[in-house]
Structure 1
Amino acid sequence: MQIQKLELPQGGEQEREQLYIRCLQGAYQTEEQSLKLEEKTLIRFDTYFNACSVEKWLTYTKIQDLFSQVRVKGRGILRIWNEWESPSGGIERKLLAEKQFETEAEELFEISLLDKMSTAEVQGMLYTEIETGEGQRCVLSEGGYTTSTVSERTVHLVIAICTYKRETYVARNLEIIRKKLWENPRSPLYQNIHVIVTDNGRTLEKHADKSWLTICPNKNAGGAAGFARGMAEALKDGSTTHVLLMDDDVEIKPSAIEKTYLLLALLKDEYRERIIGGAMLRSDYTFVQQESGGSYQGGRIQSIHAGMDLRRTENVLLNERNERADYNAWWYCCIPVSVIKKKGFPLPVFLHCDDVEYGLRTGTEPIRMNGICVWHDAFEHKRPSVNEYYDVRNTLIVNGLYVRGYGGRQAFRMVCRRMLVNLFRYRYKDIRLVARAVDDYLRGPGWLMQTDAEELHRELMSTGYRYTEIFPGTIPEKEDVLLTDILAGKHNSNNIDRKKLLSLNGWLLPARRGNPEPIMAGESPHCYYRKKDVWIYDPDTKLGFYSHKEMKQLFEMPGEWFRLWLKLKKEYATAQRAYQNAIAEMTSMEFWNQYLKEKGE
């Protein structure tokens, strides 16, 4: 069984090339799934997609042996290395095998690996290296890692995609799944996968259903409802073993789905109910990892291995660390059906925190592995007003359920911070959405379960800011977000410099007059310091809205804080207990069947 195949960069992937291959000297060319090495060339596959995560394969699966396979013709040297992180933090490596080859026709070389290393000492990752000397050339046509271990577990994987009026994205991903997986005889998922698309926008053609695809028109009750419907539809087929939740606007990697499937088939019994999570790589800087699992510390989300440049071998190795993750985001999250039956469905929170809550509820750490990922647009400059409402309301729900010692005082502190940051960003409507989120949370789970989520969302959308106006001046390009800042984690920060905080980020100082200045929606509050007029915009659409410093908003803030403080002090504990008592009902199949009914049904 081949557990990992050697991948070469495809057309149009030049900027991602070092995620597949590294050339230390000389030159090579890619030609129709083959790699031609010129003389005096040294290439390594110690990369994100081609290094083998041997430590994780041996930890989580039943494999008893492991082989490296390389199909080449020509002259050169083949080497297999083991590389790991030393206790001191450096990188150590050991040469496991070296073989000189000289062949006029293609020849498959297979090297047994585990007998060259003590199982107890297996660490880190394996990778292949090929070198040609003077006058030597070769062509690599195939490679990968195999095991003779046979899977005894049957896996029926269903991909559940939730979409809302993103027909182009959905069509692109479905075409990739059809060509690369369903219709590909060389794929382990050949005619052995099903896709369910939950259509919250009800814009896809129902008759587009095929033997491998089901389209489900759904009530627009948010991503949580879309994924709940996907789970429910998957469970109707009693043979389904796993549901892979996936966003509609990601760029999928077929080999990631194949690796997930093979990992599921070979898992040890003690790991059979573990979730498998995929990382998110950025769509703009396609070699930068945005997140590989997340931790939830005292009510705050911490992305694991964020801002990591995966072109660098040391980062590929660092990414192998099993740092504790509490959840995996649902851009790529594979959940066993047995877990869904035990733990239930998502909370009906529309969007944001549904994946966090589910991870905390299951209480198990997701398995993550290099190469299992999707590409997705980054979020730092996406700030629709409605997100403030859902972020605050849903965070209050999750914290009340899972954060030990969380009470009204901690909730008030969080709410004050959110309102103050919005004041610093001149987003006064968002301040009111934060306050409404508190009020609605305190209404309790009964209100949440009975509210028409679609109507509520429309109302919230009309309450917030809309990016509809065109700026007459020059707008900075999105690419002006410096890569160095992303890698250093300096972008999209809500933290305020202490010196500026003394003046409330310039609110207690005279504003600098002048023409409105364009500011990308997700920029730090620092960018608003002492500005009078601003134009806040989405860098993708180049549309925005005007806002300005209003002193009356500052004077009104203490009164709203006092109102919320009194309300939280009086009602928070009761609401918290109500959510704790209602979670089983809110996540049940019976609730969701009723919740997703359209009016009149």
Structure 2
Amino acid sequence: MSDILLNPIVNKPFTQTTVKLQNIILPNLDICTTEELFLRLNTKSVLNYEYSHIELKNSGVISFDTYFNAFSVQKWLDYTRVKNIGLNLTLQGKFKISLFNIDYAAQVKKLVNQKVINSHELADRNVFNNIDINLYKGLLYVEIEALANNCIFQNGYFYANTIQTQSLDQKIAIVICTYKREYYINKNIELIDNYLFKQSNIGNKFEIFIIDNGRTLKNIYGSQIHVIHNKNAGGSGGYTRGMLEVLDRKSDFSHIILMDDDVVIAPEVFERIYNFQNVAIDANFCVGGSMLRLDNQYMQHENGAIWDQEVVRIKPDLDLMSINNVLFNEIEEYINYSGWWLFCFPTKLIDNSKLPYPFFIKMDDMEFPRRLNHKIITLNGVCVWHEALEKKYSAMMNYYLKKNELILNVIATDNFSKLDAIKYFVKFSMREAFCYKYKSANVVFQAVTDFLKGPEYLKTLDPEEKNLEIRSMGEKAVKNHQLPFIYGKYQESLSETENTFYRWFRLITLNGHLLPSIFFYKNNKLTQQTYKIISMQNYRPINVFRSKTALYYNLHNAEGFAVDFSREEFFKIAIKIIFLSIQIFFKFSQIKRKYRDTLPELTNRNFWESYLEINKYSS
């Protein structure tokens, strides 16, 4: 039975009741089958995917010291009202059930409690009560050993008897911005419907707002699902449209979760976010989701990040099958933004004058959380699987990255100077020119040129038309490029090195653009230096030096494009660099002031409703 308590600060009632904190979940054919992310089995335990349970013989063991199923003691202690926890398990048979603690420092397991349970039928059994988590750091996890044959484990959960801080009537709005990615949208909606909405105790706590920038989604129905056709104003416009929809029903929703359209997610993640926010000690906490790779599902791309004139990924490239890495992931570091592949924030932090900036794509998920300026928490098991970013090469991205990075720096970084801006764009455009990517260098010039047009240009441009214009610029990766791919040549470029003398020789000759033709490799055998084959993501000027032609290749999707050495194109770019540098030098102070002065105007509802032409695109 619930007890009604009084919050002494605001003199409002809180309810003390039993609150589920975290489910113990199993691998799933629809989501992820990397078992070591969920559990560890010995040879007498078998995971039955068809029935979603584990079958154990005598001495069969399941250990849940894993990314998804260990319990993050320190963060629940620090950021919620949880002080004591319990454990329920659904099982059949005779088991020895042990609760272990493993902390950051010792990294050795310590027994917290142990019981023998004999369940004659498959049923939910209470195993532990009132475990005082103040005594522990790091992770708590369950280990189950069968003491007889024909035992079954199905699922379980950690719970607490504590105070709920969130109104039971309020929901979480899940906002997904999409552009012609029906496969991912349909898959995730099916997962959410099957594994979340159909749960009687939690399913009605969510609604989904799908902002369809491509205006192509069909046949998605449900009382908790809203498909909204929107002008293609990029991710910024899509997520903002979703926020506007939620603001129209602000009293219904305590939090908003922003989620990418090209991810795979375990619906348990939404329940964990809801449970965490339900007992949080501060109603302003944000929760950031880690990004795991979709191709190697155990690899973490980042667990939050820092923007400090450049991106610093936190906990990058961790193998989360390792318990040591799961522990390391628990150690809290400073972060000031979290990617919008999964980001949860309280609805009360926004209103009609606190909306995202119109970046179209890129940097919006950095600028907005920084402006919210509230604590971002990450939790093991709160994540999405996302396509590896290196698979997504596009010269168009250089335009949005470079323009928006300049804008973000001038509106958010006090000490970002005109010389910083010049060095920033010169370094990147010269690197592209050194690498014979002359079209890409011109994309950067267009980005800087549009940045110098100031915020008035942002207010008046048509984002769809501008995007089509940018897409027509730059090198385009294709499947059937004109040069043969030879893996040995590709590997050579990755391992290529140089000594100091060679490096200075390259730089003095502007990476060969001042060298006479006699010094370039001759076109003879395919397997020799006829042309270079270079990673599209990890390219360096040394890779093309003294070669007349290069093939940039993406090994992940077998696409590439060829480029040719051109003195004429290089020196055209050099002249543009000088010209644009002079413009930045004389215009920068005024432009910086304009961007800062117009920030309130470009982040309010009146601007966005006009920019998105909401009346025209409303469904």
TM-score by length of 1: 0.89
What is the CA-CA distance between 1:165 and the residue it aligns to? 1.1
Question: Are the counterparts in 1 of residues 45 and 54 from structure 2 also a CA contact under 8 Å?
Answer: no
Aligned residue in 2 for 1:127: 141
Are residues 1:279 and 2:298 paired?
Answer: no
Paired residues for 1:122-521 under 5 Å: 122-132=136-146, 138-154=151-167, 155-185=170-200, 188-205=201-218, 208-238=220-250, 239-268=252-281, 271-297=282-308, 299-341=309-351, 344-468=354-478, 470-471=480-481, 475=485, 501-502=503-504, 503-504=506-507, 506-507=511-512, 510-514=519-523, 515-521=530-536
Distance 1:434 1:471, change over 3 A: closer
CA–CA distance in 2 between the matches of 1:310 and 1:327? Answer: 22
Letter in 2 for 1:158: A
Letter in 2 for 1:192: K
Distance 1:378 1:498, change over 3 A: farther
Question: Are the counterparts in 1 of residues 46 and 54 from structure 2 also a CA contact under 8 Å?
Answer: yes
Aligned residue in 2 for 1:484: none
What is the CA-CA distance between 1:5 and the residue it aligns to? 1.1
CA–CA distance in 1 between the matches of 2:324 and 2:216? Answer: 45
Are residues 1:58 and 2:69 paired?
Answer: no
What is the CA-CA distance between 1:492 and the residue it aligns to? 13
What is the CA-CA distance between 1:497 and the residue it aligns to? 8.4
Letter in 1 for 2:512: W
CA–CA distance in 2 between the matches of 1:64 and 1:383? Answer: 47
Are residues 1:2 and 2:23 paired?
Answer: no
Question: Are the counterparts in 2 of residues 283 and 375 from structure 1 also a CA contact under 8 Å?
Answer: yes
Distance 1:410 1:499, change over 3 A: farther
What is the CA-CA distance between 1:427 and the residue it aligns to? 1.4
CA–CA distance in 1 between the matches of 2:368 and 2:494? Answer: 28
CA–CA distance in 1 between the matches of 2:131 and 2:60? Answer: 28
CA–CA distance in 1 between the matches of 2:358 and 2:584? Answer: 22
Does the residue aligned with 2:297 lie in a helix, a strand or coil? coil
Question: Are the counterparts in 2 of residues 67 and 111 from structure 1 also a CA contact under 8 Å?
Answer: yes
Question: Are the counterparts in 1 of residues 532 and 543 from structure 2 also a CA contact under 8 Å?
Answer: no
Question: Are the counterparts in 1 of residues 31 and 265 from structure 2 also a CA contact under 8 Å?
Answer: no
Distance 1:78 1:497, change over 3 A: farther
Does the residue aligned with 2:467 lie in a helix, a strand or coil? helix
What is the CA-CA distance between 1:309 and the residue it aligns to? 0.3
Letter in 2 for 1:10: N
Does the residue aligned with 2:258 lie in a helix, a strand or coil? strand
CA–CA distance in 2 between the matches of 1:567 and 1:248? Answer: 39
Letter in 1 for 2:348: S
What is the CA-CA distance between 1:390 and the residue it aligns to? 0.8
Question: Are the counterparts in 1 of residues 38 and 66 from structure 2 also a CA contact under 8 Å?
Answer: yes
What is the CA-CA distance between 1:331 and the residue it aligns to? 0.6
Letter in 1 for 2:68: F
Residues 291-328 of structure 1: per-residue CA shift (max 9 Å, x gap): 1111012x010111110000000111111111111101
Paired residues for 1:33-112 under 5 Å: 33-86=52-105, 90-106=106-122, 108-112=125-129
Letter in 2 for 1:114: I
Question: Are the counterparts in 1 of residues 93 and 150 from structure 2 also a CA contact under 8 Å?
Answer: yes
Aligned residue in 2 for 1:535: 551
Residues 70-117 of structure 1: per-residue CA shift (max 9 Å, x gap): 33333442111111112xxx52442101223445444624213533x5
Letter in 2 for 1:16: T
Question: Are the counterparts in 2 of residues 381 and 520 from structure 1 also a CA contact under 8 Å?
Answer: no
CA–CA distance in 1 between the matches of 2:469 and 2:345? Answer: 33
What is the CA-CA distance between 1:381 and the residue it aligns to? 3.6
What is the CA-CA distance between 1:539 and the residue it aligns to? 4.3
Are residues 1:576 and 2:592 paired?
Answer: yes
Question: Are the counterparts in 2 of residues 25 and 43 from structure 1 also a CA contact under 8 Å?
Answer: no
Distance 1:147 1:518, change over 3 A: same
The root-mean-square deviation of aligned C-alpha atoms, in Å, is 2.8
Residues 166-218 of structure 1: per-residue CA shift (max 9 Å, x gap): 11211111111222212233xx432332111111111123x745311111111
Does the residue aligned with 2:111 lie in a helix, a strand or coil? strand
Distance 1:471 1:518, change over 3 A: farther
Question: Are the counterparts in 1 of residues 31 and 266 from structure 2 also a CA contact under 8 Å?
Answer: no
Distance 1:131 1:476, change over 3 A: farther
Letter in 2 for 1:507: G
Letter in 2 for 1:232: L
CA–CA distance in 2 between the matches of 1:468 and 1:335? Answer: 39
Question: Are the counterparts in 2 of residues 96 and 113 from structure 1 also a CA contact under 8 Å?
Answer: no
Higher alpha-carbon Rg = 2
Question: Are the counterparts in 1 of residues 100 and 142 from structure 2 also a CA contact under 8 Å?
Answer: yes
CA–CA distance in 1 between the matches of 2:327 and 2:255? Answer: 28
What is the CA-CA distance between 1:583 and the residue it aligns to? 0.6
Moved more, 210-219 or 531-540: 531-540
Aligned residue in 2 for 1:22: 40
Question: Are the counterparts in 2 of residues 343 and 361 from structure 1 also a CA contact under 8 Å?
Answer: no
Does the residue aligned with 1:148 lie in a helix, a strand or coil? strand
Question: Are the counterparts in 1 of residues 247 and 351 from structure 2 also a CA contact under 8 Å?
Answer: no
Question: Are the counterparts in 2 of residues 77 and 130 from structure 1 also a CA contact under 8 Å?
Answer: yes
CA–CA distance in 2 between the matches of 1:215 and 1:541? Answer: 31
Question: Are the counterparts in 2 of residues 382 and 521 from structure 1 also a CA contact under 8 Å?
Answer: no
Letter in 2 for 1:227: Y
Are residues 1:544 and 2:549 paired?
Answer: no
What is the CA-CA distance between 1:412 and the residue it aligns to? 0.9
Residues 512-564 of structure 1: per-residue CA shift (max 9 Å, x gap): 34444443421332544443312234445534322122233443444222212
CA–CA distance in 1 between the matches of 2:30 and 2:232? Answer: 36
CA–CA distance in 2 between the matches of 1:44 and 1:500? Answer: 55
Distance 1:109 1:242, change over 3 A: closer
Aligned residue in 1 for 2:580: 564
Q: Which runs of 5+ in 1 are unaligned?
A: 482-489
Question: Are the counterparts in 2 of residues 465 and 545 from structure 1 also a CA contact under 8 Å?
Answer: yes
Are residues 1:114 and 2:114 paired?
Answer: no
What is the CA-CA distance between 1:237 and the residue it aligns to? 1.4
TM-score by length of 2: 0.87
CA–CA distance in 2 between the matches of 1:372 and 1:308? Answer: 15
Q: Which runs of 5+ in 2 are unaligned?
A: 1-18, 524-529
Distance 1:113 1:82, change over 3 A: farther
